[in-house]
Amino acid sequence: MTTPSPDTLINRELGILEFQRRVLAQADDPEVPLLERLKFLCIFSSNLDEFFEVRVAGLKEQIRANASQRSPDGMTARQQYRAVSDRAHALVAEQYALFNHDIVPALAAEGIHFLRRTQWNEAQAAWIRDYFFRELMPVLTPVGLDPSHPFPRVLNKSLNFAVELSGRDAFGRNSGAAVVQAPRALPRVIHMPPEIAGCEYGFVFLSSILHAHVGELFAGMKVEGCYQFRVTRNSDLFVDDEETKNLRQALQGELPQRNFGAAVRLEVADNCSPAMAAFLLEQFELDPDDLYQEHGPVNLVRLMQVPDWVDRPDLKFPPFVPALPAQLAKDEDIFAQIRKGDILLHHPFESFQPVIDFIEQAAADPQVVAIRQTVYRTGTDSMLMQALIRAAQSGKEVTVVVELLARFDEEANINWAAKLEEVGAHVVYGVVGHKTHAKLALVIRREEGGLKRYAHLGTGNYHARTARLYTDFGLLTCDEAMTADVVSLFTQITGLGKAGKMKRLWQSPFTLHSEVIAAIEREAANAAAGKPAAIIAKMNALLEPQVIAALYAASQAGVKIDLIVRGVCALRPGIAGLSDNIRVRSIVGRFLEHSRIFYFRNGGDEQVYLSSADWMDRNFFRRIETAFPVLNPKLKKRVINEGLKPYLRDNVQAWEMQPDGSYRRRKPRRGKTYCAQTALLALLSR
């Protein structure tokens, strides 16, 4: 299979920023409840942080190494960085304009105030002064910059203040500059008592309090300027697969260094003097293009707490109660219900509780002899992990594949691995060079006639909190062939040997890529032969060049292709003679679209697969992933009618991709609005 020419592909980094633009648009949407708009602003900040920590950090490493390799779309690392920098600066300027000129005034109109220094009355100023001396000053450590006090090590994404000073201190020193680091334990936003604030919800930024009283830290000297700053660092962890003997031990040694990787971005308040900005850039070995001057707090992520503190349901999304599937609503024996037929779960519209029940009942059931599960992201207070610990304590054979290299969840996973090992569970860390990203749980139960296998396969993580925020599908089954494949996969991961042929599952890194290509090519052949042919695929990202080439060929053969790609898509839709028959749309709304669904018309014998994998190089070749078929006709119809058709119909939260890689938001005609997520809430939740 040939790969597409560079001019037919969209750059990955710019595609990611296009997605961030769509997230930012949610904060700008007056139809979104006001406090949720503030959350989207924070989510945008958090996403951009990770983009710099990983993607921009990678580009800068390539530039430093003078790497000659070009991206699939033909750009050098330096060209990509230049384009990314321009786009990111524009987005950040848009973000702060939205915060200052739209969201803050709108919150104030609702009685929710961010009280700036220039607005404090006498009572507020007195309360803040007392708060500074009581809560802040005892934990602040100012560092004067002189030969005895070099520039301090600054933690990744921490809040700091650069202070310009004049005069001499008690020792006669007059270095003229100091740094004050705000400990992470300090809140970045403080809720002022209503009787002092003059409103129920009055908030003060930590930065405002420090600005007002930073002089107290430098007795006898004059503060000429005080400027917030924040540095973002390369946060990818380096573990040498060939040299590492104990992955957990190696990671534990690496994690503390994440906070001190190479700097990639410097954020400063917009009032920062040019001299101080230049000085800070020099300290972090950054260029002027790496500087982001921001009109407001340099870390808007920390405002995410504010909506939780404000009891205004009218300014938030309406609450909902996830439903239970009918077959699980009455009978408490989940294994008996699975024996009656496969059970499909559609989160967050349907509850994640059956997945927890599946493991908890297995842990407590004396007939269960073994439990095996993969763990990618599960959280720090996981009921599932607690159930696995209880199962091991009761003498069951418990095997857990813990992915220690799940980015930004490494520490939580290390902790769970240690706790599981302490109670006698078998803990393995997957396969060297391949992250275990498949979402699988297997229960082996002794029943009349011998051992019987039950499995849960999913598109999302075993994480109860994100199951209320992400859209995902899960399947509970005791299908003999499907569960046999799950057993084989666990055996591959935990043991040694050749990969056996799977009966039901497509699996990375062995068959998933070739099966997806074959399914696309089959649709092209059917279209050429005049048979029904169509592809609908829903995923987070589409980047793999050979899959894109196959989709282009299928389009040219006449296959109608609908792609629902939440994030970055390298394929260019709607190009005459190449991708006329391909439409790409992205849904960005209340819930994070996370499910992966692959539909092939297959000449009328429809195939539907659910998967943990996006169509990316890493998922096909450097991860252990699965795609599993939905075989029950009723459940297959449900996946199509709930997971695909509503998203193709959506004209509220849908963005249509243009051939140049930009996106245009769909607008309803004649007031006939249809929002997929809202419709699914009405259909499935209680």
Q: With cut-offs at 50, 70 and 90, classify the pLDDT of residue 382.
A: confident
Which residue of the set 113, 346, 434, 437 is catalytic?
A: 437
pLDDT of residue 153: 85
Q: With cut-offs at 50, 70 and 90, classify the pLDDT of residue 427.
A: confident
Over residues 453-460, mean pLDDT: 97
**Is-contact 568 560, C-beta < 8 A?**
no
pLDDT of residue 496: 67
Distance CA 17, CA 141 (A): 37
Mean pLDDT for the chain overall: 91
1-59 residue pLDDT tens = 578 999 999 999 999 999 999 999 999 999 999 999 999 999 999 999 999 998 999 99
pLDDT of residue 481: 96
297-314 residue pLDDT tens = 998 998 999 999 999 999
pLDDT at 376 over 90: no
Q: Please say if 89 is a catalytic residue.
A: no
pLDDT of residue 685: 84
pLDDT at 244 over 50: no
pLDDT at 572 over 90: yes
Distance CA 128, CA 216 (A): 13
With a pLDDT cut of 90, the percent of the chain lying above it is 75
Per the model's pLDDT, the better-predicted residue between 457 and 248 turns out to be 457
Instruction: Tell me the whole-structure pTM to 2 decimals.
Output: 0.92
pLDDT of residue 68: 86
Of 202, 197, 41, 188, whose CA–CA distance to 112 is shortest?
202
Highest-scoring range by mean pLDDT, 215-219, 374-378, 679-683 = 679-683
Q: With cut-offs at 50, 70 and 90, classify the pLDDT of residue 327.
A: confident
What are the backbone dihedrals phi and psi of residue 573, each rounded to the nearest 5 degrees, phi first?
-85, 160
Q: With cut-offs at 50, 70 and 90, classify the pLDDT of residue 245.
A: very low
pLDDT of residue 150: 78
pLDDT at 432 over 80: no
pLDDT of residue 175: 65
Helix 383-393 vs helix 353-364: angle between axes, to the nearest 10 degrees? 10
pLDDT of residue 330: 77
Q: With cut-offs at 50, 70 and 90, classify the pLDDT of residue 669.
A: confident
DSSP result, 201-214:
EEEEEHHHHHHHHG
Per the model's pLDDT, the better-predicted residue between 251 and 374 turns out to be 374
Over residues 416-429, mean pLDDT: 86
Distance CA 566, CA 561 (A): 16
493-535 residue pLDDT tens = 887 667 778 999 999 999 999 999 999 999 999 999 999 999 9
pLDDT of residue 415: 81
Q: Between the CA of residue 320 and those of 36, 514, 592, 599, what are the distances in Å?
A: 15, 41, 16, 29
Instruction: Give the end-to-end CA distance of the chain in Å, rounded to a whole number.
Output: 48
In the block, residue with structure tokens 């407001």: 296
Domains, the chain, ranges and CATH? 6-315 (3.30.1840.10), 326-504 (3.30.870.10), 507-684 (3.30.870.10)
Is residue 525 helix, strand or coil?
helix
Per the model's pLDDT, the better-predicted residue between 440 and 2 turns out to be 440
668: alpha, beta or left, given left = phi > 0 and alpha = psi -120 to 50? beta
- 361's tokens: 């009942």
Q: With cut-offs at 50, 70 and 90, classify the pLDDT of residue 257.
A: low
pLDDT of residue 431: 74
pLDDT at 678 over 80: yes
608-666 residue pLDDT tens = 999 999 999 999 999 999 999 999 999 999 999 999 999 999 999 999 999 999 999 99
pLDDT of residue 240: 41
Which long-range contacts does 468-471 make (Cβ < 8 Å, 24+ apart)?
468/322, 468/347, 468/348, 468/352, 469/348, 469/591, 469/592, 470/347, 470/348, 470/591, 470/592, 470/593, 470/594, 471/346, 471/347, 471/348, 471/349, 471/591, 471/592, 471/593, 471/594, 471/595, 471/677
Q: With cut-offs at 50, 70 and 90, classify the pLDDT of residue 261.
A: confident
Strand 160-166 versus strand 263-269 pairing type? unpaired
